[in-house]
């Protein structure tokens, strides 16, 4: 290897040379972009994470109505904040498997109906109190009570009993479930002292940071937890999360150096943003999807033919082309795509104005239909709603679009109004996605979907050890949901995010949620 190239890579890894400058010098020396990037990555790893400094994030998705209670987290800002101060029993690994967090190990009975999680010893909360098995039990209780508003309620309904057994926690299930560790990785289930029953929004947890300033919808500041148990994360001394819901302002903050990373780079400008010498745009394909959701228990959406009229009246490919600018794929009115391990491709529903008109007449509905939207639901949602309005008009369906304020959208519109735009980050497994949002009893059942056959099949699939049979069951459930449900899913979106050359440690292709499954703030570091 050219010694000068090695030197340049070392300089770039140390932040003394921008990535753009490094690639330019590498090209002049005859190195391809691929080989240069590999060398830069190796140099960065060799240098190791740098400790100290402040990482600033500019995030879309925050609101003044947001809560620090992990049970009530509904958006990206809430996810990122929870990741700073809280931890779950287990977590999704970079390769898509499960790794321990507060649980150092786990094992299942032969029938996968009893699971035992052994707790990591010597882990303390930010208040100095040691984590106990009883805390875990009470956390699960808080998320499973009939009066809870937890986003994890659907997950908890399949758990019959949770008990402490010394330094371990034992879960007894209603029926076998090979996916239980994936369910317990849900970010709502951050372990709290006494389960969070005393003060669920106190942000006392075992994470790498301690919250110091909290201004919902505006700004959050966290400082390094000096007693954090894992020295592989939490490199920066301070994390500052700034809520910037406006796309233009958020990108401008990144380009000017006000922040070091942003979520939701607008697809229409992503390539342009990536040309800046100090910025790298990261794209990750996965289960995230942008949706239009109808309450199936509320008129006129309680009529199957009316729902089908709307589903046939949407031009999915047009939305992928014009809203995602190619950063995504066409959806099919189910939340499951090829990123899931047991995926079966269904016949694609096509835009068909004639079928839309047929089902509209059959429904007997007369008059306009109101759709509520906001930029806070997903990037370009108002534009997508306008495209939907246009495509429906060709089928003789009048859609009225009401643009709602960004602030308060997740508390006042989503899961409250009968027809609105929304998004889902997806989940690692079909069971978790279906259980969280489409089980009839799930608190986050935002389409009010209630299908007894679907519910029964979902429970049965959890205990089915024959992969072929289980795959077919998930395909059947997707078909039921596509044809009977209140979900209109026109597109699966790539996560489009960006960082400046002032930070390092980004890993491409991390599965799960946005920004490296929500851990970018604690896994990246400030370059020296």
What average pLDDT does the segment 21-28 reach? 78
- Domain 54-63+207-281+496-526: give its CATH code: 3.40.190.10
- Rg value, the chain, Cα: 24
Domain ranges of the chain: 3-47, 54-63+207-281+496-526, 87-196, 289-493
Helix (H, G, I), strand (E, B) or coil at 364: coil
Backbone angles phi, psi at 52, to 5 degrees: 100, 180
Q: What is the pLDDT of residue 335?
A: 98
Q: What is the pLDDT of residue 130?
A: 97
Least confident of 1-10, 191-200, 313-322: 1-10
Backbone angles phi, psi at 245, to 5 degrees: -75, -25
Q: Which two tokens stand for residue 495?
A: 């996560």
> Are the beta carbons of 172 and 160 closer than 8 angstroms?
yes
pLDDT band at 123 (very low <50, low <70, confident <90, very high): very high
pLDDT digits (tens, 9 = 90+) for 252-299: 999 999 999 999 999 999 999 999 989 999 999 999 999 999 999 999
Instruction: Report the chain's mean pLDDT, rounded to a whole number.
Output: 93
In 3D space, the residue among 528, 501, 527, 526 whose CA is nearest the CA of residue 238 turns out to be 526
Helix (H, G, I), strand (E, B) or coil at 516: helix
pLDDT digits (tens, 9 = 90+) for 179-223: 999 999 999 999 999 999 999 999 999 999 999 999 999 999 999
The β-bridge relationship of strands 54-59 and 90-92 is: unpaired
CATH assignment of 289-493, among 3.30.360.10, 3.10.105.10, 2.60.120.650, 3.90.580.10:
3.10.105.10
pLDDT band at 31 (very low <50, low <70, confident <90, very high): confident
Q: What is the pLDDT of residue 3?
A: 67
- Domain 87-196: give its CATH code: 3.90.76.10
pLDDT digits (tens, 9 = 90+) for 211-258: 999 999 999 999 999 999 999 999 999 999 999 999 999 999 999 999
pLDDT digits (tens, 9 = 90+) for 428-466: 899 999 999 999 999 899 999 999 999 999 999 988 878
Residue 1 has pLDDT above 60, yes or no: no
32/294 Cα distance (integer angstroms):
50
282/494 Cα distance (integer angstroms):
10
Q: What is the pLDDT of residue 14?
A: 63
- Sheet containing 114-119: give its strands across: 103-108, 114-119, 168-173, 159-165
> Are the beta carbons of 369 and 314 closer than 8 angstroms?
no
């Amino acid at each position: 290897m050219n010694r000068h190239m090695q030197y340049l890579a070392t300089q770039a890894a140390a932040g003394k040379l921008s990535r753009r400058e490094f690639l330019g010098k590498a090209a002049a020396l005859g190195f391809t972009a691929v080989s240069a990037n590999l060398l830069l990555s190796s140099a960065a790893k060799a240098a190791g994470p740098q400790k100290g400094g402040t990482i600033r994030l500019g995030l879309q998705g925050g609101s003044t109505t947001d809560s620090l209670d992990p049970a009530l987290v509904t958006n990206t800002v809430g996810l990122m904040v929870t990741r700073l101060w809280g931890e779950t029993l287990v977590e999704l690994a970079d390769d898509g498997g499960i790794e321990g967090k507060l649980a150092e190990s786990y094992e299942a009975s032969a029938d996968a109906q009893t699971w035992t999680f052994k707790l990591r010893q010597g882990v303390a909360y930010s208040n100095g109190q040691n984590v106990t098995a009883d805390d875990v039990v009470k956390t699960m209780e808080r998320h499973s009570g009939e009066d809870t508003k937890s986003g994890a309620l659907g997950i908890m309904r399949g758990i019959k009993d949770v008990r402490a057994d010394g330094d371990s926690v034992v879960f007894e299930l209603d029926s076998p479930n090979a996916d239980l560790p994936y369910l317990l990785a849900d970010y709502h289930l951050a372990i709290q002292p006494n389960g969070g029953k005393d003060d669920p929004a106190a942000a006392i947890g075992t994470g790498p940071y301690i919250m110091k300033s909290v201004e919902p919808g505006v700004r959050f500041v966290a400082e390094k937890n000096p007693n954090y148990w894992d020295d592989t994360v939490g490199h920066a001394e301070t994390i500052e999360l700034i809520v910037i819901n406006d796309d233009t302002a958020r990108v401008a903050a990144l380009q000017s150096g006000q922040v070091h990373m942003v979520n939701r780079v607008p697809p229409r400008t992503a390539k342009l943003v990536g040309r800046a010498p100090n910025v790298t745009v990261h794209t990750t394909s996965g289960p995230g999807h942008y949706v239009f959701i109808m309450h199936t228990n509320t008129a006129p959406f309680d009529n199957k033919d009316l729902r089908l009229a709307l589903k046939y009246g949407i031009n999915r490919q047009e939305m992928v082309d014009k809203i995602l600018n190619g950063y995504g794929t066409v959806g099919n009115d189910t939340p499951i795509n090829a990123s899931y391990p047991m995926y079966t491709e269904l016949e694609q529903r096509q835009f068909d104005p004639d079928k839309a008109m047929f089902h509209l007449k059959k429904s007997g509905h007369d008059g306009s239909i109101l759709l509520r939207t906001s930029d806070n639901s997903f990037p370009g949602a108002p534009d997508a709603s306008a495209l939907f309005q246009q495509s429906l008009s060709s089928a003789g369906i009048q859609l009225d679009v009401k643009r709602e304020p960004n602030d308060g959208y997740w508390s006042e519109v989503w899961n409250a109004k009968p027809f609105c735009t929304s998004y889902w980050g997806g989940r690692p497994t079909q069971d978790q996605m279906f259980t969280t949002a489409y089980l009839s009893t799930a608190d986050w059942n935002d389409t009010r979907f209630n299908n007894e056959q679907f519910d029964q099949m979902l429970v049965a699939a959890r205990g089915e050890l024959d992969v072929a049979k289980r795959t077919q069951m998930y395909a059947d459930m997707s078909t039921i949901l596509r044809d009977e449900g209140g979900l209109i899913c026109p597109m699966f979106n790539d996560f489009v995010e960006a960082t400046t050359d002032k930070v390092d440690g980004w890993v491409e292709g991390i599965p799960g949620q946005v920004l490296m499954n929500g851990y970018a703030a604690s896994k990246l570091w400030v370059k020296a």
